Chains A and B, each alone.
Chain A
Amino acid sequence: MKAGVLIALIFVVVLPCNAADRVLVQVPAVLDPHVALSDGVKRECPVESLLGNQVFRMVSMKFPRSLQIEKPDGTEKESVLALTILRIVAAEGGYGSGPKSLSVRADLIQSGKVIATMEKERESGFGSRWTTCALLEHAAALIGRDIANWLPTVLGGQVSTEPR
């Protein structure tokens, strides 16, 4: 009997919580028109997709039922995470041409309104990654982790804007 009650409570309490565990993440991210990027990197490295997917990967660890959305139109019922790339520092030549970095703005949108914004800049680490694209993907993963850590503080009721 006690076991049955316990199972029941788990279902009754946990399932409604899961129902809210969803964020629609914009993939690919949007490249700000003012971003300067070499033709080689632009042609060979889909930074917008890499960033969007890495952010999604990290966000879905916190919000497991998250989905990707390509073009939010403001009518979504769920929270939408819009991603804009503000700056890319990525000389061609991989690790040998110096560190690579990404600067990104994340806007959390509910019912078409931006309720919180975060800007973050991250520099790639190194190690086993050598190519420019792989280094940028690493920077994207770091930003994804930052955003994933930030989201619960906002969706938990504290609407805030975190400076860079």
Chain B
Amino acid sequence: MITRLHWISAVATALSFAAAADAAEPIFVQIPALFDPRAPVNDAVRRECGLDGLLGNDVFEQVKATFPDSTALQKPAGTEREKVLRVTILSVSAQGGGLWSGGKSITVRADLVQSGKIIATTVKERGSRGGAFGQFRGTCGILERVTAALGKDIATWVSQMLLSSDVQQSAATAEPQKAIESEQAPAPGKTD
């Protein structure tokens, strides 16, 4: 019995080290983030707020805090053997006018890609009313708070994924996702 428990402990320890090894891996973070070609985003917000750069940098900053060897990458080739974190803005709910036009929210998808395959994906949504001094913030200022929160969310998710030793199984069964056509796609206008 004791021998069996020793074996189980040894296996568990080995698994723990394997997970820790994953955490030490460098991660390439794509900056700026991408806009989904059909993301519904107010024209003025897209033009003035620079959300793709803000979000990319917020995510990178948070990921680097956990994975210090991480580096920024502008245009991944898609064949990197290291893990590449790609963040895509799916929708932005934000009218001009700061807090007076209501709260703002952003939905994003984060993909962990390795050797061209998506090994993990998440979709995160965050909203803000601007915080304690929200009435004094503009629309972009409120959205900056949202991207900062999303950066933390995504970094936490990356940690969870990479520290779970079975994430590698995802690579074997991951479906290649639809290609991001272009981050410069024409912006859809607001619905109303």
**Which chain A residue lies CB-closest to B170?**
A65
Q: How far, in whole Å, are A141 and B126 apart by their CA atoms in the complex?
A: 13
Measured CB to CB, the closest approach of chain A to B186, in angstroms, equals 11
Measured CB to CB, the closest approach of chain B to A68, in angstroms, equals 6
Is A94 interfacial (CB 8 A cutoff)? yes
Measured CB to CB, the closest approach of chain A to B181, in angstroms, equals 13
Count, chain B residues at interface, CB 8 A? 49
One of A5, A18, A53 near B166 (C-beta < 8 A):
A18
Chain B residues with Cβ below 8 Å from A67 are 118, 120-121, 170, 173-175
- Bin the interface of chain A by size: 35 or more
Chain B residues with Cβ below 8 Å from A99 are none
Chain B residues with Cβ below 8 Å from A134 are 40, 91, 93, 105, 191
Most buried by B among A18, A54, A127, A128: A128
One of A11, A54, A93, A141 near B192 (C-beta < 8 A):
A93
26 contacts between A and B (CB under 8 A): A7-B9, A7-B12, A8-B11, A11-B15, A12-B12, A24-B175, A44-B190, A44-B191, A49-B38, A49-B90, A56-B121, A56-B123, A57-B123, A60-B121, A60-B122, A60-B123, A65-B170, A67-B118, A67-B170, A128-B105, A131-B191, A131-B192, A134-B40, A134-B93, A134-B105, A137-B107
Listed in ascending order, the chain A residues whose CB lies under 8 Å from chain B are: 1, 4-5, 7-12, 15, 18-19, 22, 24, 40-41, 43-46, 49-50, 53-54, 56-57, 60, 64-70, 77-78, 92-94, 96-97, 127-134, 137, 141
Listed in ascending order, the chain B residues whose CB lies under 8 Å from chain A are: 5, 8-9, 11-13, 15-16, 36, 38-40, 90-91, 93, 95, 101-105, 107, 109, 118, 120-125, 127, 129, 160, 164-167, 169-170, 173-175, 177-178, 188-192
